[in-house]
Structure 1
Amino acid sequence: MADIKLPLPFITQMEGLLGNDYATFEQALLQPSRRSIRVHPHKWNNSLSLTPVPWNKQGYWLDEEATVTYDPLFHAGAYYVQEASSMFLAPLLEACIKDKEELTVLDLCAAPGGKSTLICDVLNEQHLLVSNEVIKTRVHILDENLLKWGYNNVIVTHNDPADFDRLGTFFDIIVVDAPCSGEGMFRKDPAAMNEWDEAHVDLCCSRQKRILSDIWQALKPGGIIIYSTCTFNRKENEDNMRWMQEQYQAEGVELTIPSFEGIETGNENGINFYRFYPHKVTGEGFFASVIRKPETAEWTNHTGKREKWTKDRKAQQKQVIPEITKNILTKEDTYVFLHKEEFRCFSETFKDALEQISMCLKIFRAGTPLGILKGKDFLPDSAVAVSIHLNKELFTSIELSYDEAIKYLSKEEFVLEQESKGWNIMCYQGVPLGWIKAMPNRFNNYFPSEWRIRNQWNGESKRFRIGE
């Protein structure tokens, strides 16, 4: 990083923001980034000899750079690699939720899934998360990460922000981690620095205003937007919040959040903001603010006319629901339905909400895929194996060694000394990885090919393993 060359207009901008602190800020950009992870609260409860992230109780900094590709627990969804500064969403969301019940939450710009998986951890089973990604090529990785995280109350959608207008005033909380100029990622992603110029900042600012404007209608009166970027300039941050005040009478929100050393806080026109600078915290650049829609704003009903999901619901009524799908998960408040040939389960609480969303938006996935019927046999889906609601008592669990787990995840052949006929759950350190189906003298590996480890470790990088 010693040869980093910052654009002159960026230097001028940051000198204006930081004053005498600029030299220290620039020196921080010459230092390597420090990687961090966030562990799954329901999949990994063992102590870790890592430095904790103060503003997120599941967050930890890694002591050195290492690859997680060859850690079976990473593939099991036991932890997620996430930049530490962005984990600040957790205390913000917790302060917004408090004790509210049956909340509907939208993560608008969700891929690859770091913030959505974090939101899942903060919400409870009476809350619904809609995780949306507008870029088609990024929806699959979002869905994979959420499936591995294993919650049942999630709908993954693929829509432009303007599409949500069809729902009317629907959401209680909307998280907008807006596409930005990426100034806060310069040392982590040199390409962001090469793409930066003042025109790009102006373009990002205009795009962010359009996104906020488009999604405002979908927010209930009294509802909250948590807005964030990974950039430093005021145009994409405080100025956008002031614009929302002027255009839509957005209000500031008083939140009770613990103070954390190094996080810069401020208030402009009644709106609070939080800034992360790399010379003040161990993390990359980050900005966050919270605004509220006035209680006096008008409600509107949805105007969606999509009927595809409704037809699937009618087809489902003619299909006998296999008994195993009713108790494969321990969650009692479960609605089992058929989508095409696949049985899925979803929170009973939000069954009507699912119907409404399906009439207005493009749904990529709703709930947890349970499996399909193939003749008289039920083939369980890989998502069930890693669901936090899996009823393990229905199946035999097989504990794998590290080498066996890597071979299983790579879909390589290996020999098991013991397995029970039929479906078995493969586990590593007690955490489920996926399925095999055992037959006389052999077994079939049902780990998804699209999830498999494709490259063998070549010894050039250190392997990180959370369980060691």
Structure 2
Amino acid sequence: MNLPESFTSYTKALIGDGLFGKLLHGLTDEEPPASIRINGMKHHIHDEDTSRQAIPWCEYGMYLDKRPAFTFDPLFHAGHYYVQEASSMFLHHILKSYISSPVIMLDMCAAPGGKSTTAMGALPEGSTLIANEPVRQRSQILAENIQKWGNPGTIVTNNYPKDFAKSGMVFDVILCDVPCSGEGMFRKDEDAVREWSTQNVENCRNLQREIVAQAWKCLSEGGLLVYSTCTFNAKENEENVKWISEELGAEILPVAIEEQWGITGSLLKGFQKPVYRFLPGVTKGEGLFMAALRKNGQKETATSIGKKKNKKEKKERNNGIKSAQLATSWLTAPDNFNIAQSGNTLTAIPKPMAGIYATASEKLKVIHAGVTLGTIKGKDIIPAQGLALSTEFNTAAFPSVELSYSDALRYLRKEALSLPEDTPQGFVVMTYHGTPLGFSKNIGNRANNLYPQEWKIKSARIPDNDVSPL
């Protein structure tokens, strides 16, 4: 790896020759470890799972002996696990350390969804998460991954941080996993090495402070801010945490860690505050920096937002109930939801989330929320892909067809499948190992594959055997 000279000289001066030697070995001589995080709402950990090396800072994380071709695993597409590098799962440990009752959380820069889904596995039941992504195309990928994960207590938005500051919305927890110079991705992404420059580091530091300053306006008094980058330098890390502390008045919070985890603390001279660094060659994962901070002041909660309703939300709910009584039977606990209608689309919104959903719909660009039930088309309601993957899906509401491994991949490639002759006509759930993958519509002589075009597997290859790590 041909590291930039200015990066090498700065980093060596920052962390010392000994630690830099370990980092260099990790970047150039070690293979990046493969790891996944299991969706505890969909997959129960079995004995064969626990025999693998666990990731100690995340109860759902595990290292894999090798990296399988995840694209060809139907359970991956069904949201049974998320492919995530181990260091990023440290968010789980921070949230578990400080959050013990339901909260409203904002992930400000959330795409592609790794840390948002990590947060869902750590937050107490009854919490609401807004996963936001400013870049439109990336926000669509985020919405896809959130729907695959299946947690209904989530809203996906496509807004800039300043939009949240203007909205007047307040959050108990905010994650700022900010855009950075990407030094922590050097061994996985050659482009990160080529695009690195000292000027880009400065540009990132300034942008990061702008994002945090906007987020700070949305954080409740006593609220938790988690600041995160995937880079090594102190300019984007310790210096920014110091700025947040001194300029915004944040308290830097400690998190209990074990020595054997190999997590390094602050490397900036004169700044001995509790921050957490993951260095390849020292920890088993990619480069990451994370810090937990509290907004000083008397603790308040943002959960009162969930009790507010506006006329728009009430009207949409009533319209939805009138036009889609059938759709409520598609949920395991329909009384826990309000039905909202936007155009021809029906959405189930968890009742504790109703107020914040109404506010977000009014103030922000919402691209997904709760459980998308389906689309009204004539006398039909075409069930949505998000419904099939939701943890609230009542699978008994539709007939199902169990697919073989090869047929499951064909379905996920959006190819036509021949269904068994005794399959009822109408909408049918396609399953693999009993897990819903999506819907088809059986019209007798053929079946229409309803898997989303933009989600389909593009590779035509079908492995000989199931590649699932589960």
Instruction: Confirm or deny a common fold (TM above 0.5).
Output: yes
After TM superposition, the structure 1 stretch with the greater mean CA deviation from structure 2, 361-370 or 147-156, is: 361-370
2:24 corresponds in structure 1 to 26
After TM superposition, the structure 1 stretch with the greater mean CA deviation from structure 2, 196-205 or 165-174, is: 165-174
The whole-number CA distance in structure 2 between the counterparts of 1:201 and 1:173 is 27
1:141 corresponds in structure 2 to 141
The whole-number CA distance in structure 2 between the counterparts of 1:280 and 1:353 is 42
Aligned residue type for 1:329:
L
Aligned residue type for 1:27:
H
- Given the superposition, is the C-alpha separation of residues 398 and 324 from structure 1 closer, same or farther in structure 2, using an over 3 Å criterion? same
The whole-number CA distance in structure 2 between the counterparts of 1:243 and 1:152 is 36
2:3 corresponds in structure 1 to 6
Alignment partner of 2:112: what SS? coil
2:178 corresponds in structure 1 to 178
The whole-number CA distance in structure 2 between the counterparts of 1:355 and 1:259 is 45
Question: How do residues 252-401 of structure 1 correspond to structure 2 at under 5 angstroms?
Answer: 252-256=252-256, 260-266=260-266, 271-295=273-297, 311=312, 314=315, 317-318=318-319, 320-331=322-333, 332-401=335-404
1:304 corresponds in structure 2 to none
Deviation at 1:136, TM superposition (A): 1.3
- Given the superposition, is the C-alpha separation of residues 198 and 134 from structure 1 closer, same or farther in structure 2, using an over 3 Å criterion? same
Deviation at 1:290, TM superposition (A): 0.6
The aligned length equals: 455
Decide which structure has greater helix share.
Answer: 2
Deviation at 1:141, TM superposition (A): 0.3
- Given the superposition, is the C-alpha separation of residues 147 and 315 from structure 1 closer, same or farther in structure 2, using an over 3 Å criterion? closer
Contact between 2:223 and 2:300, CA under 8 Å: does it hold in 1? no
Percent identical residues: 38
Deviation at 1:316, TM superposition (A): 5.5
- Given the superposition, is the C-alpha separation of residues 83 and 315 from structure 1 closer, same or farther in structure 2, using an over 3 Å criterion? closer
Alignment partner of 1:411: what SS? coil
Q: Deviations over 1:199-253 (max 9, x none)?
A: 1111111111111111111001111100110011111111101111221111122
Aligned residue type for 2:368:
R
2:307 corresponds in structure 1 to none
Contact between 2:171 and 2:218, CA under 8 Å: does it hold in 1? yes
After TM superposition, the structure 1 stretch with the greater mean CA deviation from structure 2, 57-66 or 72-81, is: 57-66
- Given the superposition, is the C-alpha separation of residues 330 and 194 from structure 1 closer, same or farther in structure 2, using an over 3 Å criterion? same
Q: Deviations over 1:83-136 (max 9, x none)?
A: 1110111011111212x23x1100000001111111112224411100000111
After TM superposition, the structure 1 stretch with the greater mean CA deviation from structure 2, 342-351 or 450-459, is: 450-459
1:423 corresponds in structure 2 to 427
Aligned residue type for 2:26:
A
Corresponding residue to 1:442 among 425, 442, 446: 446
Q: Deviations over 1:233-292 (max 9, x none)?
A: 111111101111221111122445556521123597684211101111111110100111
Aligned residue type for 2:449:
N
- Given the superposition, is the C-alpha separation of residues 324 and 108 from structure 1 closer, same or farther in structure 2, using an over 3 Å criterion? same
Aligned residue type for 2:98:
C
Contact between 1:161 and 1:215, CA under 8 Å: does it hold in 2? yes
Alignment partner of 1:264: what SS? coil
Aligned residue type for 1:36:
S
Contact between 2:11 and 2:20, CA under 8 Å: does it hold in 1? yes
Q: Work out whether 1:81 is the aligned partner of 2:80.
A: no
After TM superposition, the structure 1 stretch with the greater mean CA deviation from structure 2, 361-370 or 309-318, is: 309-318
Contact between 2:254 and 2:275, CA under 8 Å: does it hold in 1? no
1:305 corresponds in structure 2 to none
After TM superposition, the structure 1 stretch with the greater mean CA deviation from structure 2, 266-275 or 372-381, is: 266-275
Aligned residue type for 1:330:
T
Alignment partner of 1:23: what SS? helix
Contact between 2:238 and 2:266, CA under 8 Å: does it hold in 1? no
Question: How do residues 246-257 of structure 1 correspond to structure 2 at under 5 angstroms?
Answer: 246-256=246-256
Aligned residue type for 1:334:
F
Deviation at 1:155, TM superposition (A): 0.9
The whole-number CA distance in structure 1 between the counterparts of 2:312 and 2:171 is 25
- Give every structure 1 segment of 4 or more consecutive aligned residues whose post-TM-superposition deviation is greater than 6 Å: 267-270, 297-300
- Given the superposition, is the C-alpha separation of residues 442 and 118 from structure 1 closer, same or farther in structure 2, using an over 3 Å criterion? same
Deviation at 1:183, TM superposition (A): 0.7
- Given the superposition, is the C-alpha separation of residues 5 and 269 from structure 1 closer, same or farther in structure 2, using an over 3 Å criterion? closer
The whole-number CA distance in structure 2 between the counterparts of 1:51 and 1:323 is 47
Aligned residue type for 2:275:
F
Deviation at 1:391, TM superposition (A): 1.0
1:303 corresponds in structure 2 to none
Alignment partner of 1:52: what SS? coil
After TM superposition, the structure 1 stretch with the greater mean CA deviation from structure 2, 50-59 or 89-98, is: 50-59
Alignment partner of 1:217: what SS? helix
After TM superposition, the structure 1 stretch with the greater mean CA deviation from structure 2, 170-179 or 244-253, is: 244-253
Corresponding residue to 1:433 among 411, 416, 437: 437
Cα RMSD after superposing both structures? 2.6
The whole-number CA distance in structure 1 between the counterparts of 2:353 and 2:266 is 37
Deviation at 1:387, TM superposition (A): 0.5
- Given the superposition, is the C-alpha separation of residues 71 and 318 from structure 1 closer, same or farther in structure 2, using an over 3 Å criterion? closer
The whole-number CA distance in structure 1 between the counterparts of 2:300 and 2:96 is 26
2:189 corresponds in structure 1 to 189
Contact between 2:312 and 2:358, CA under 8 Å: does it hold in 1? no
The whole-number CA distance in structure 1 between the counterparts of 2:435 and 2:76 is 10
Query: Structure 2: any 5+ residue segments left out of the alignment?
Result: 303-309
Q: Deviations over 1:163-184 (max 9, x none)?
A: 1112336100000101111111
Deviation at 1:310, TM superposition (A): 5.6
Contact between 1:312 and 1:338, CA under 8 Å: does it hold in 2? no
Deviation at 1:358, TM superposition (A): 2.2
The whole-number CA distance in structure 2 between the counterparts of 1:370 and 1:120 is 21
Alignment partner of 1:80: what SS? strand
Aligned residue type for 1:425:
V
The whole-number CA distance in structure 2 between the counterparts of 1:420 and 1:271 is 64
Deviation at 1:66, TM superposition (A): 3.1
Aligned residue type for 2:239:
D
Q: Deviations over 1:137-176 (max 9, x none)?
A: 2110000000111111111111111111123361000001
The whole-number CA distance in structure 2 between the counterparts of 1:241 and 1:174 is 15
Query: Structure 1: any 5+ residue segments left out of the alignment?
Result: 301-308
Deviation at 1:327, TM superposition (A): 2.6
- Given the superposition, is the C-alpha separation of residues 270 and 451 from structure 1 closer, same or farther in structure 2, using an over 3 Å criterion? same
Q: Work out whether 1:127 is the aligned partner of 2:127.
A: yes
Alignment partner of 1:134: what SS? coil
After TM superposition, the structure 1 stretch with the greater mean CA deviation from structure 2, 49-58 or 244-253, is: 49-58
The whole-number CA distance in structure 2 between the counterparts of 1:374 and 1:289 is 49
Aligned residue type for 2:33:
R
Q: Deviations over 1:333-357 (max 9, x none)?
A: 2111111111101110121122222
1:41 corresponds in structure 2 to 40
Contact between 2:317 and 2:338, CA under 8 Å: does it hold in 1? no
2:64 corresponds in structure 1 to 62
- Given the superposition, is the C-alpha separation of residues 192 and 151 from structure 1 closer, same or farther in structure 2, using an over 3 Å criterion? same
